Chain A
Amino acid sequence: MTPLFLLPLAAAVAATPAPLSLETKVLAETRVAAADGTTRIALVAPRRIVPGDQVVVQVVYRNAGRQPIDGLVIANPLPQGLAYRDAGAASAAPELSVDGRTFGTLATLRVPVAAGGTRPAGVGDVTHVRWRVPNPVAAGSSGQFAFRAIVR
């Protein structure tokens, strides 16, 4: 074989789409008055977002490949401007981190203070969220996670 044959092959390998497709969406929580007088929370496109508004960040994954996927970990650093609130409805609770290195429940996290020492972390200190999918994701199957956040 000549190197000439290798080149297109290498290009083909690099161009192979990743078996996992991952999509995030940010939706705004809006109060919608129903006909019976109650109010329900609807998720709408983030057209009008001002500080203090509540948004839901959704992460949808799908195994688009032909092989099962093992050990799936989805990490979502919180963007500047969002403060973590809680796990989204019908979503597994994420592991939280205040530094991007140590993950756990909020009660286990501590934040250093300027005067020295640490204090217990609050939801506003969360900088990263992470979900670990315990079971293999079969080819063609999908799932989604979500968390709620407040616009700072």
Chain B
Amino acid sequence: MSARKMRRILWSTTATLGAMMAGMVTAQAHAQALPPAGTAAGTTVSNTAQASYTVNGQAQSTASTTATFVVDRKVNLTVVATDATATSVNHGQTGAVTRFTVTNNTNGTQDFLLSLSQLVPVGILTGTDNFDLSNIRIFVDGNNNGVYDPATDTATYIDELAQDTSRVVFIVGDIPSNNALATSAQVGLEATVATGGAPNTQGTALIPTPLNTLNQDNEIDVVFADNDNDGLLGFDALRNGRGWAYQTYDVTTRNVNLTVTKSATVLSDGVSTLNPKALPGAVVQYCLTVQNATLLTAANNVNLTDILPTTTTYVPGSLVVGSVGTAGVCLIGGVPVADDGSTTGTYGGSYNATTRTVTATIPVVGGGSSVAASFRVTIN
């Protein structure tokens, strides 16, 4: 038996099965409730007409010959990025996930092969791709909960996806920690329709039946009917049995290099005006300077806290926040900040007498810049 003949026999077996199944389905469902992808591939459609008539007043009837054809495989799929917005990540994050949804619009159960690219054509997505993920992998949502679970979501291809059903696919990768300029990475997922019918076995990519192949009336031909879902720019093409979708990793959370320096200056001791000493009753100004050494990245919501020594007493209303001063001056252009837990301008301030803690909240310390805060105490 030639391989071809063998295949034909196999096909015809599937065809009969398909026809039986289709018959059962349509017997229950109303004609309107057919799946969008249509009659399952391999279904045999048979048409027979009946005639009734009289000859010389005698009623007779005749059944026609039966015309049949086999419904072929109309290959179609949809691949979309599940999330409308980019995935937010931070530097050095491992196992960063983007999600995609692959839908089988083929009139049959198919496997789907998955691959990815980090070289997304420019213009498909907004933003600029300026880094690649490492250790990047593809996993199928095995337990169908839409969330990447490393323990269960281990399959690297979609197995036996029924007609008109979807499956979530994850791209999982690590964000480099040593690339300070990394802000955005674009990834693309490709799904390829493959042969189905063998559970737990990865099918091979479908190949459309050549148009001029003869004697295929009762075989299930493969007809590609998928669109070009990413336009001229993208990888996908019309009727190629594949689909692409793209997604962005945006580095939105970053670590910044913050340092705080603290100094104390005796402002007055009630004795000497020229060179005051730290005597009991002297007023001392503490100066806290926070410096953000990371260029281009601001630090948000910086809390400066200082616990006062028990031998000192906080001078109420002495909290000031401003730009760093020079030549021994703590700050210039300072803004007095209320120390009752409220917000003055954009700065927040508080003094907790129980814990003896002074807190100044600075909403933004710009990349490469510094902010100073000062307050006063008296020595007991």
Cross-chain contact A71 with B53 (CB below 8 angstroms): yes
Report which of B32, B38, B66, B73 forms a contact with A124, defined as CB distance below 8 A.
B32
Number of A residues, CB within 8 Å of B: 45
A37 at the interface (CB under 8 A from B): no
Chain B: which residue is nearest A74 at the CB level? B51
Chain B residue numbers with a CB within 8 Å of A52 are 38, 74
Instruction: From A3-11, A57-65, A85-93, A101-109, give the one contacting chain B.
Output: A57-65
Q: Check if A19 sits within 8 Å of B221, measured CB to CB.
A: no
A38 CB contacts on chain B under 8 angstroms: none
B53's partner among A28, A69, A80 (CB-CB below 8 A) is: A69
Does any Cβ of A come within 8 Å of B93's Cβ? Answer: no
Are B217 and A24 in contact (CB-based, < 8 A)?
A: no
At the interface, is chain B mostly helix, strand, loop or mixed?
A: mixed
B126 part of interface (Cβ distance < 8 Å):
no
A81 contacts B43, C-beta separation under 8 Å: yes
B65 touches A (CB below 8 Å): yes
Which chain A positions have C-beta within 8 A of B225?
Answer: 50
Contact of A75 among B50, B57, B66, B211 (CB under 8 A): B50
Contact A47 B217 (CB under 8 A): yes
Instruction: Check if A76 sits within 8 Å of B221, measured CB to CB.
Output: no
The reply on B273 being an interface residue by CB < 8 A is no
B71 touches A50 (CB 8 A): yes
A interface: dominant SS: strand
The A-B contact count (CB < 8 A) is: 136
CA distance A73 to B54 in the complex (A): 10
Contact B60 A49 (CB under 8 A): no
Q: Report the bound CA distance from A48 to B210 in whole Å.
A: 11
Contact B39 A26 (CB under 8 A): no
Q: How far is the CA of A20 from the CA of B39 in the complex (A)?
A: 33
Decide: B70 and A49 in contact? CB cutoff 8 A.
Answer: yes
Per-position binary interface string of chain A over residues 121-152, scored 1 when its CB falls under 8 Å from any chain B CB and 0 otherwise: 00011010000000001000000000000011
30 sample A-B contacts, Cβ–Cβ < 8 Å, listed by A number:
A22-B51, A22-B62, A22-B65, A23-B64, A24-B66, A25-B67, A26-B45, A26-B67, A26-B68, A26-B69, A47-B221, A49-B70, A49-B72, A50-B223, A57-B47, A61-B51, A68-B55, A69-B54, A70-B57, A72-B52, A72-B53, A73-B53, A80-B22, A80-B43, A81-B43, A82-B45, A125-B31, A127-B31, A151-B38, A151-B71
State the A residues within 8 Å of B (CB).
Answer: 18-26, 28, 45-52, 55, 57, 59, 61, 65, 67-77, 79-83, 124-125, 127, 137, 151-152
Given contacts A26-B67, A81-B71, list 14 more A-B pairs with CB under 8 A: A25-B67, A26-B69, A48-B223, A51-B39, A52-B38, A52-B74, A71-B54, A74-B49, A74-B51, A75-B49, A75-B50, A75-B51, A79-B47, A152-B34
Chain A to chain B: the 5 pairs with minimum beta-carbon distance, closest first:
A51-B38, A50-B74, A46-B69, A22-B64, A81-B45
